[in-house]
Structure 1
Amino acid sequence: MTAVARSQHRVALVGRLRSFGDASALRWMGPAGLQTMAYAALADQVDDRRVALGGAPRLVLLEAGNDVETVVTLLAALAGGHPVIVTAPGESRLVDAWDPDVVARGPRLEARRAGTAHALHPDLALLLSTSGSTGSPKLVRLSTHNLDCNAGQIVDALSLRPDDVAATTLPLQYCYGLSVLLSHLSVGASVLLTDLSVVDACFWDAFRESGGTTLAGVPYTFDLLDAVGFAAMDLPRLRLLTQAGGRMEPAAVRRWAELGKQRGFELAVMYGQTEATARMATLPTHLAASNPSSIGVAVRGGHFSLARVDGVAAGVGELVYEGGNVMMGYASSTADLAEGPGPSTLPTGDLARFTPDGLVEIVGRLSRLAKVCGLRIDLDRVEADLAADGHPAHVMDGGDRLLVALAGSDGSAADDVLRDVSERYAVPRASVVVATVDEVPRTGSGKVDRPALRDRLLAQSVERRAAGDVPVRDESAVGVAVDEVRRLYAELLDRPDATDGDSFVSLRGDSLSYVEMSVRLEGLLGTLPPSWHVRAIADLAATHGAPPAQLARSRRTPGWLRWRVLETSVVLRGLAIALIVLTHAGVLEVRGGAHVLLAVAGYAFARFQLSGAERSDRVAHLLESITRIALPSAVWIGVIVLIDDRFSWWNAALMTSVGGGTGHIQWRYWFVEALVHLLAGLTVMLCVPALDRLERARPFAVPLGLAVAGLVFRFGLVGVGSHHVNGRAAMVLWLFALGWAMARADARWQRWLLTAYVAVVVPGFFGDPMRELAVAAGLLTLLWVHSLRVPAFAVPVLVPLASASLFIYLVHFEVMGRVGYSLLGAAVSLLTGYIAWRGASPIVEPVARRVGGQVRRILS
């Protein structure tokens, strides 16, 4: 047989190799250390091998390794229009099944005939196993367009750039591993070729020496990373971890995202199938911690929809993908190699739903529905429920039984799991098989080999006893810590309904309650992670809780003898309000504290108000915060209006800038008014769906853009009014937006950019160099220093001051006007503000929550 006439279209990324010139394309560790191959040299080798493969298209079977020869042969086949089956070494079954014209092993090309024995479609470029394993008789047919399209989509989704260096942590016959190679080569980036495992110290030596920036893995890879102490590794250029190849537990996604924030890298959760060339969706990195169960949104040019499935919950359907990266179709025999492309839609076989924000969540698998004793059971749901109970397991359909393999268990939990599964899903105990496995079988791509695991459980014929003594679960130290943490949340947030799955943000805590909560939690659990406020109570306690005996010993040690670690924003709030009061009292002369507090408010806004998964949550949370600030302020200033004719109702309405206040006294509460106006404006912004989506997609660029836009007021390009200019909301927009951007600045270059912004914008703002120096020092401390060590004896002073800062600001003018502008007057003001905060909170908090609840109902 002869080949069908070939299309002139070739894989574009291969044709661009030479354009990258002397840039490093491939790196590997040789006997003499790190070796490199430039793009120009790679292009030369590809051309030579393309000539060796011949001019007429032939079917090539490539036994792939993570080495230079594999890459050269693969690219040569793609450049010459030779469809290539990529498989693991030693797969003689595929040679027999597909009768390739050429078998490539390393640098050797074993020609089995001069031409081809097959009719080959002109657009056919690549054939891969559907599972990434090596023995599947069915292959996925991928076209030249599929490869170029998905490489571009991945480059776009991950913002890959020429200075990136990726390591081959996955085999190249696996679509995910192959896409790492092709996407990086398409932008002139470099690839470290290695077949070492991530548990091998030599892998990390090579990764560091080559300047590795991106690392790809399946969930099992991340388990291995945990095992080798990845969190403590020094990887100075690492900027991105990508995860695909199966669902990773939400708790693990959140944990890795938080580790990335601490260490300066990002986590990109991705979703794909071989049938879509590689990847179909990516979760924006800034949403990983807040949406750990989501796969995100479709890659550029792709589109998701839901197909109706009978018998599933409302809003759930089979996920269907459409895009240019969808395969030509399957090949079950050589006759299929001549077939043209099929539909550009791909039913994924996954059950999914859309969140109100347009993110996709996978909730199950069509083929993962078992029918036991007449009951339809979602096996993925069973796995998720067991994992939530602390029992990682793999659940399979055993025909008339449920098969549950407990991973890494010593067997003591088997009875508990048997009873729990039986009772929760109304399945007779005799129809549930629970077994422990020391080592879970896996495919070559690292996925769990469920068929092999199923066969093992059936062969063992494990039958747990249906009744009898059940081991009593150990009430561990962590369990006690969970109860204590939950009680603390209930007390400080006035939320007796708090559950183990709630977080500080989900319980609608904000910056006013954040200070006391963080300090009390630190005393209970020890040093807190940066994103503790978005972590579930159970997760926080399980990860950071100390055993009760240890806590008791710690509490017996005199606290004032130790140092404590407080978040920088907490320290700045306490110091700033103290300096404001002492400066107004004439005791000190350190001005600028209120403007630092505006940046701290922007920082808190990003951490709390923008942590909601849904737009309605964000807007409701914002209005709750506005209520917590505006209500007590309006009431207090309203009382002052009644007794002091220097004030007007414009002041009580927090509209002095509208009412035209011209006296210094009338502008005493400018800070509160400016903060409320800024939050109100941002509330309106987030009510617009497009702007809400923009902020989620560009979490650093949006506040940076606002900070830059605010400069038109800062430098007087647009007038804001003639009196008390530096206290008007528009004039201090740049400060609030700067604090917001600081909270979103995860990368070092972003922090340096904001440092430059401070250096340019702060000088000249007040016309007072000392005041500007104080503001700049506060801003840069907030930007660069996450936490500060303070003497333990100072904590009982700093924390109440920071917590009550709003109320101290409100009352201190009136208190000192009666007690005196002195150190005594300042002390009494601080104490009075603290008492006012304690007294007003039980009244203000229910009102704020009611406002938030009404807004949620309206927007839902």
Structure 2
Amino acid sequence: MTIAPPTRRLEASAPAVPFAAQLARFGNRPAVLAGKDTLSYAQLAARVHETAERLGPVRRLVLLAATNGVDSLVAYLAALAGGHPLVLVPGDNPAAVESIRAAFDPDVVMGDGGGDGAPRITEVRTETRHLLHPDLALMLSTSGSTGSPKLVRLSHRNVQANAESIGEYLRLSAGDRAATTLPMSYCYGLSVINSHLAVGASLVLTDLSVVDPCFWEVFTRTEATAFAAVPYTFELLERIGFQDMDLPHLRYVTQAGGRLAPELVQRYARLGRERGWELFVMYGQTEATARMAYLPPELAAESPARIGVPIPGGKFRIDPVDGLEDGELVYTGPNVMLGYAESPADLAEGRTITELRTGDLGRRHPDGLYEVTGRRSRFLKIAGLRIDLGRVEQILADLGVQASSAGTDGQLVVALQGTHDPDLLRKMLAGSLGIPRGSVQMFSVAELPRLASGKPDYQAVLALAAPAPSPATDERPVKAEGPQDVRRIMAEQLELETVQADSTFVSLGGDSLSYVATSVRLEKALGTLPSDWHLRTVAELEQVSPPPKPRRKLTARIESSIVLRAVAIIFIISTHIGLFHWEGTAHVLLAVAGYNFARFQLGGERARRLRRQAASLARIVVPSMAFIAFGYVVTDHYSVANIFLLNALIGPQEVTTEWHFWFVEVLTYLLVCMTALLAVPAVSRLERRFPLAFPLGLTAAGLLGRSEIVDLGVPNTGPALWLFALGWTVARARTVPHRLLASAIAVLCVPGFFYGDLVREATLLTGILVLIWVRTLPVPKGLQKVTVLLASASLYIYLTHWLVFPYFVALHPSVAVVASLVAGVGYWALVSWVLGLKRRRTRSGVGALQASRS
């Protein structure tokens, strides 16, 4: 063990990672594509040099809260180029940042600044209080995204050597462009950055998920050639119809971060062959800077269960393990870490290990390919017998049961996904293993516990066997919902039995009708809710860290589209009833409808998307037709055309009571037309490729109808189309310039829309601008639930108030308004119950059918 003397200033020969210090050698080649901006290597090098100058000449310990943005990339490279030991922590996890900060007391803390490549630098001290070994370059958490205080210490040579090895076996060149599908703070995501910068290739910086259509728009527009995936990424790709995507520039896909099922390896290897790209299955650990082995793509379909061969410069050997057929996989190479750091004192240490004992059991096949067969630590000893937990899971898998197992010597704990007979399975498993039945505990769970990376959470499995806390008195308050309740909330709100870790609100069939209540419960559980939460996976939402508990506030913040729906419906019925007169909010709801259509109805592959659009349309049309039919029977105000929502097409042109439901009719026509339009494969591909330009084109078409330049043949549809399409555009406006463009359209086109009714036009313009620029609005605490109820039931309130208020308006218009709101909420509750009952019966029937076949 070598202890370095205190390091106070950098010398001219101070160590640096070469690819970070030599960026300028690639000149004007594109280095980074972020949004609409492109940075050349020369420009990136200049920003890195400027930030290194800001860090100063004193070698200090730097902590970087990293995101997938230009600021974080520049900060990372500046530390490596300047020789400052750097700790990388996920920037979206404040708890992880504070955990590392408390444990290692960094001299400098860096984070995102203005997004222009000038990161924020906070100096704790101008010099360093630590002893920093000269070889120390980078430290990563052993736990990936959670910020464990146990860090992997990596040297300059580790980082450079692994980047070069990866570039060699991936055959990287300056023409490659990789999209950042994984966090920079994760060693796998970081290795993508390192290997591409080392050869002068380009990075497409994005934090969009692969389930977001905007990701594929960016991927296609930037002509990206590669992306990195972990096992659950492939499950997401299955959901969004990746196999049907047209990605002409894709050259290869890499996979690591856990074992991918052999059948999926085969499927994607063959898909790649058909489409002209390659699948690289890889194996690695943070302790090896990222990568140790790769499976040559030409062998993936024939040998899908193997990890392949060592990376260039690396070697494997297999050390025997007593009592086991397979031995432990041991790796040597220039990318093996210096050792671990669990306290600041460890930062002074040099190399403490020369080889990496992976903890994985493996074997070498005659063809030279290596295979990982299990974990050395995944063994128990029960009744004197050595129990392989991997074999436990395989036995149950052969019985058709997904399971995760953990335990201690003397006790085996098994989590079973779904509903099973634990007693029967315990008997069968104990018999197969030759152990006492009483040493096996089994628990049925809706979802197998998983970490944020998608890997099994064995500690959570073990916790299932922990004794329950003693019951408290009946007066004990109910435990508040938290991140662990995300799946339950999703399941309850969407009437589902189970929710997968890689599911999103959109992929589960969520729409604008279920969005309101779900978002409010999730925000209450998580403390804060990302703006794109409906596109994030359940596993990602479970990792959202709640903000520090604030002092008691008198208001709660609710998403602006929800508040707009609640306020609009109150203004609409109050105007109709005569409590006060304020028009324009119905047209705001048309923009909100387009906004929600884009957010909830456009994700996933085309067939599933069409089914989701049809189901959402049915949830509007069927309750509307049922209620209008009731109104037709009990009054003489409506016609058969009203029942079938055809009054705008074949009804009287003069305004009569038959026009009461014009909003529902026009909204239905718009949704039917958009669904039919996107059912055309060529149009669907066009929308995916140009997610912003497409609704802008629809807005332009709608404006032609509004101006009567083109007659769409359906009264009110022309004016409604441009508002609906503008709301769609707002949902696709990801950047400030995009929002400014949407705002400009509204500001230019709303004036004159209501022929000089300034209050009405101001109301519409204000509503649209709020939708564009204001994510949340404050609502008094006491009105939070009321706001959510009114927003959820807004369509049903609109329907029912026409029949309700005449019976109460003589008492007072305010009484009629309240009665209409209550009736609408009641009808919404009834429809929700009926739909939930139908789903439950459908699932019950499917379950019975499956049982009869088994």
* 1-structure distance, mates of 2:70, 2:813: 58
Distance 1:522 1:304, change over 3 A: closer
Measured after TM superposition, the shift of residue 579 of structure 1 is: 1.1
2:45 corresponds to which residue? 192
- Aligned-partner residue type, residue 668 of structure 1: H
Aligned match of 2:500: 499
1:732 and 1:289 mapped to 2: Cα distance? 38
Q: Match for 1:638 among 625, 629, 633?
A: 629
Q: Structure 1 residues 637 and 773, CA, compared in 2 at 3 Å: closer, same or farther? A: same
Equivalent residue number for residue 594 of structure 1: 586
Please give the secondary structure, in 2, of the residue aligned with 1:638: helix
Once the 2 structures are TM-superposed, how far is the Cα of residue 347 of structure 1 from its aligned partner?
7.2
- Alpha-carbon distance, 1:589 to partner: 1.5
Match of 2:765 in 1: 776
Q: Is residue 2:673 matched to residue 1:681? A: yes
Query: Contact conserved, 1:271 with 1:282, CA < 8 A, in 2?
Result: no
Partner of 1:317: 269
Aligned partners of 1:67 and 1:754: how far apart in 2?
Answer: 42
Q: In structure 2, how many angstroms separate the alpha carbons of the residues matched to 1:477 and 1:571?
A: 43
* Separation of aligned partners in 1, 2:356 and 2:700: 62
Return the alpha-carbon distance in structure 2 between the equivalents of residues 478 and 257 of structure 1.
39
Report the Cα distance in structure 2 between the residues aligned to 1:258 and 1:365, rounded to whole angstroms. 27
User: In structure 1, what is the equivalent of residue 280 of structure 2?
Assistant: 350
Say if 1:250 and 1:611 are closer, same or farther in 2 by CA, change over 3 A. Answer: farther
Q: How much has 1:532 moved relative to structure 2?
A: 1.2
1:788 aligned residue (769, 777, 783): 777
* Aligned counterparts, 1:717-796, within 5 A: 717-720=709-712, 725=715, 728-767=716-755, 768-796=757-785
C-alpha contact (below 8 Å) 2:704/2:710 kept by paired residues: yes
Deviations 1:126-159 (A, max 9, x none): xxxxxxxxxxxxxxxxxxxxxxxxx7xx89x959
Alignment of 1:414-425 (within 5 A): none
Look up the match of 1:457.
357
Letter in 2 for 1:280: T
Q: CA deviation at 1:226?
A: 8.8
C-alpha displacement of 1:848: 8.5
CA distance in 2, matches of 1:192, 1:202: 15
Deviation at 1:501, TM superposition (A): 3.2
The aligned runs of 1:800-815 (5 Å cut-off) are: 800-815=789-804
Residue of structure 1 equivalent to 2:787: 798
The CA distance in 2 between the partners of 1:775 and 1:222, in whole Å, is 48
2:326 is matched with 431
Distance 1:216 1:432, change over 3 A: farther
Taking the aligned partners of 1:478 and 1:541, their CA distance within structure 2 comes to 18
Residue deviations 1:346-370 (CA, integer Å, cap 9, x gap): 8746379xxxxxxxxxxx9446979
- Do structure 1's residue 697 and structure 2's residue 624 form an aligned pair? no
Q: Distance in 1 between matches of 2:623 and 2:118?
A: 45
Q: Are the aligned partners of 2:318 and 2:330 in contact in 1 as well (CA < 8 Å)?
A: no
1:682 deviation in Å?
Answer: 0.8
Query: Given the alignment of the two structures, is residue 564 of structure 1 paired with residue 550 of structure 2, yes or no?
Result: no
Secondary structure in 2 matching 1:486: helix
Task: Please give the residue correspondences for 1:191-340 in structure 2 after superposition, counting only pairs within 5 Å.
Answer: 191-193=44-46, 202=55, 227=88, 233-237=112-116, 249=182, 280-281=225-226, 315-317=267-269
Q: 1:580 Cα deviation (Å)?
A: 1.0
Structure 2 contact 330–355 (Cα < 8 Å) conserved = no
C-alpha contact 2:225 2:249 (8 A) present in aligned 1 = no
> Separation in 2 of the partners of 1:320 and 1:461?
30
Q: C-alpha offsets along residues 371-411 of structure 1, whole Å, 9 cap, x if unaligned?
A: 9xxx966356x9xxxxxxxxxxx9x99878699xxxxxxxx
2:177 and 2:781 mapped to 1: Cα distance? 45
1:608 shift after superposition: 0.5
Query: Quick one: distance in 2 between partners of 1:836 and 1:577?
Result: 15
Gapped runs of 5+ residues in structure 2?
1-11, 13-17, 57-67, 81-85, 93-110, 120-174, 191-203, 254-261, 283-293, 339-351, 363-374, 382-405, 409-457, 465-480, 844-854
Task: Give the superposition deviation at 1:457.
Answer: 2.9
Shift of 1:642: 1.6
Aligned-pair distance for 1:487? 2.0
Change (3 A) 1:817 1:433: farther
Alpha-carbon contact 2:560-2:775 (below 8 Å) kept:
yes
Instruction: Find the partner of 2:813 among 803, 817, 822.
Output: 822
For residues 716 and 795 of structure 1, the distance between their equivalents in structure 2, rounded to whole angstroms, comes to 42
In structure 1, list runs of 5 or more residues that go unmatched.
1-30, 32-62, 76-150, 169-189, 204-211, 273-277, 323-344, 353-363, 383-393, 404-417, 419-427, 444-451, 853-860
Deviation at residue 454 of structure 1 after TM alignment: 11
SS of residue matched to 2:557:
strand
Is the 1:320–1:348 Cα contact (8 Å) retained in structure 2?
yes
Please give the per-residue CA displacement for 1:612-669, whole angstroms capped at 9, x wherever unaligned: 2x01121111111100100000000011112222311111101112212333311111
Label 1:562 to 1:65 Cα distance change in 2 as closer, same or farther (>3 A).
Answer: closer
> 1:200/1:797 Cα in 2 relative to 1: closer, same or farther (>3 Å)?
farther
Q: What is the match of residue 490 of structure 1?
A: 491
Indicate the SS of the match to 1:790.
Answer: strand
Q: Aligned-pair distance for 1:572? A: 0.6
Partner of 2:620: 629
Q: Tell me the equivalent position of 1:543.
A: 544
Q: Select which of 820, 823, 832 maps to 2:823.
A: 832
User: For the residues of structure 1 that align with 2:625 and 2:703, how far apart are their CA atoms?
Assistant: 30
- Inter-partner Cα distance in structure 2 for 1:159 and 1:611: 23
1:146 matched to which residue of 2?
none
Q: Residues 166 and 213 of structure 1 are in contact (CA less than 8 Å); yes or no, is this contact kept in structure 2?
A: no
- Contact 1:515 1:799 (8 Å CA) reproduced: yes
Instruction: State the secondary structure of the residue aligned to 1:699.
Output: coil
Contact 2:670–2:717 at 8 Å: present in 1 too? yes
TM-score, structure 1 length as denominator?
0.55
Contact preservation (8 Å) 1:816, 1:825: yes
1:333-356 deviations in Å (ceiling 9; x for gaps): xxxxxxxxxxxx98746379xxxx
1:195 to 1:828, Cα distance in 2 relative to 1, 3 A: closer
The answer to whether the 8 A contact 1:624-1:849 is kept is: no
Aligned 8 A contact 1:509 1:608 in 2: yes
Q: 1:783 to 1:733 in 2, by over 3 A?
A: same
CA distance 1:164–1:689, change in 2 (3 Å): same
Could you tell me which residue of structure 2 aligns to residue 21 of structure 1?
none
Does residue 577 (structure 1) correspond to residue 569 (structure 2)? The answer is yes
One-letter amino acid matched to 2:326: S
Q: Which residues of 2 match residues 392-403 of structure 1 at below 5 A?
A: none
Deviation, 1:202, is 3.9
CA distance in 1, matches of 2:579, 2:206: 42
Superposition pairs of residues 607-686 of structure 1, within 5 angstroms: 607-612=599-604, 614-661=605-652, 662-686=654-678
Letter of the aligned partner of 1:575 in structure 2?
Answer: V
Aligned 8 A contact 1:319 1:350 in 2 = no
1:757-802, CA deviations, whole angstroms, 9 ceiling, x for partnerless residues?
1111111111211111101100000001111222211202111000
Higher mean Cα deviation, 291-300 or 669-678?
291-300
Q: Quickly say closer, same or farther: Cα 1:748–1:474, change in 2 above 3 A.
A: same
Q: How many residues align?
A: 576
- Percent identity at matched positions? 30
C-alpha displacement at 1:260, in angstroms? 6.9
1:522 alignment partner in structure 2: 523
SS at match of 2:778: strand
Q: Using a 3 Å threshold, how does the CA distance of structure 1 residues 290 and 696 change in structure 2: closer, same or farther?
A: farther
Using a 3 Å threshold, how does the CA distance of structure 1 residues 764 and 602 change in structure 2: closer, same or farther?
Answer: same
2:598 to 599, 606, 613: 606
